[in-house]
Amino acid sequence: MKTQPIITAALISSLFFSGAAMAAGSPERDGGKGDAVASTDLTTIETSDLQFMREEEKLARDVYLTMDQYWGDQTQVFAKIALSEETHTSTIDYLLEKFDVEDPVLNDTIGVFTNEELQALYNELTAKGKNSLIDGLHVGGLIEEKDMRDILAAINQTDERAIILAYSNLLDGSKSHLRAFVTVIEAQGLMYEAQILDPEEVELILDDESQVED
């Protein structure tokens, strides 16, 4: 699996805007009108991002449900976050309906994906996570870091207020989920190290106590 370990300084600062602040937009984005009405016509990039995000949130849910089958007797973190991810998939599903975008989830069975990249990633991460509880927890951390990277990229490619709000809320959720996984890892006497984001980014996320748990 290929990952991008470096995110620009501009994106670092973006990680710490609240969902509401990011959704509020700016004069440049709104054309100076706070009550601008969003268009129902999406660009090809916005459409593909929505479809990818739909399955990426499903991937998180499916991996966590699978990890709970193996490690649920030792921690409830997988079951709890899987429930949250189900809400996230519903959020994206709502956007697909709102903008009349085809839902890529043709089969909601756990571990089944239309996107080949996500199918391969699910297979890889579940195989790794089955090895031990710690491996499973690190898989959770990796998923949340990847989600944040992908969500930020998608936010930067849309002007639709409803999409920005939804993505921003997902971003806040991923930060909370990462903190939850790290808390359990540290309870085992271990330290968590960044897997995709820069270490400084992860440190700031983990030290941020202002976010409400998702």
pTM metric for this prediction: 0.82
Give the per-residue pLDDT at 85.
94
Mean pLDDT of 41-65: 97
Give the per-residue pLDDT at 208.
85
Tens of pLDDT, residue by residue over 171-204, are 999 999 999 999 999 999 999 999 999 999 999 9
Share of the chain above pLDDT 90, in %: 77
Mean pLDDT of 35-41: 49
Q: How many distinct structural domains can be found in the chain? A: 1
In-domain check, residue 115: yes
CB atoms under 10 Å from CB of 109, counted, come to: 9
Q: Of 63, 43, 64, 45, give the one whose Cα is nearest residue 53.
A: 45
Share of the chain above pLDDT 70, in %: 79
Which SS3 state, helix, strand or coil, does residue 49 take?
A: helix
Q: How far is CA 73 from CA 42, 77, 86, in A?
A: 44, 11, 21
Range of the domain at 194: 42-207
Rg of the chain over Cα atoms, rounded to whole angstroms, equals: 17
In-domain check, residue 22: no
Which residue reads 């600062």 in tokens? 13
In-domain check, residue 195: yes
CATH of the domain at 73: 1.20.1260.10
Helices and strands per DSSP (H, E), number in the chain: 9, 0
